[in-house]
């Protein structure tokens, strides 16, 4: 049985990401994102949009990239496929706080995947 893709409205996406709606609209323009729209013009975002915006948020808010730097980073990673079943390991040379944050994020993502 195949799961249907979940769609998000802008308010749901903003709440999930922890940003304001205007930030989502700004990222749409800056990063050339095109959500699907209803006949009335309402935005609908898919899983791929959510993943892309999570990466944008990470680059801007956590890693301290500028908009231009984030665009370059996203462009360079565009050709690398993401494999959902790939086992993630953490480099022991990373600072302990980074490793802990990564493990926390991984747990949250796995829990989210279970919900979907």
Torsion of Cα atoms, 102 then 107 then 113 then 114, to 10°: 170
Task: Report which DSSP code applies to 72.
Answer: H
Q: What is the pLDDT of residues 12-29, one digit of tens each?
A: 999 999 999 999 999 999
Tell me the two tokens of residue 54: 């999570």
102 confidence band (pLDDT: 50, 70, 90)? confident
Q: What is the pLDDT of residues 51-60, one digit of tens each?
A: 999 999 999 9
Task: Report which DSSP code applies to 3.
Answer: P
Judged on CB neighbours under 10 Å (0-12, 13-18, 19+), 10 is middle
The per-residue pLDDT for 33 is 92
């Amino acid at each position: 049985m195949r799961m249907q893709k979940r769609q998000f409205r802008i308010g749901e996406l903003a709440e999930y990401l922890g940003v304001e709606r205007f930030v989502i609209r700004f990222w749409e323009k800056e990063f050339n994102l095109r959500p699907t729209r209803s006949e009335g013009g309402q935005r609908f975002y898919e899983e791929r949009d959510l993943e892309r915006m999570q990466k944008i948020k990470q680059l801007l808010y956590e890693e301290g990239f500028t908009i231009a730097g984030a665009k370059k980073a996203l462009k360079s990673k565009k050709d690398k496929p993401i494999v959902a079943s790939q086992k993630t390991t953490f480099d022991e040379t990373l600072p302990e706080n980074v490793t802990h944050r990564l493990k926390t994020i991984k747990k949250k993502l796995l829990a989210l995947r279970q919900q979907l």
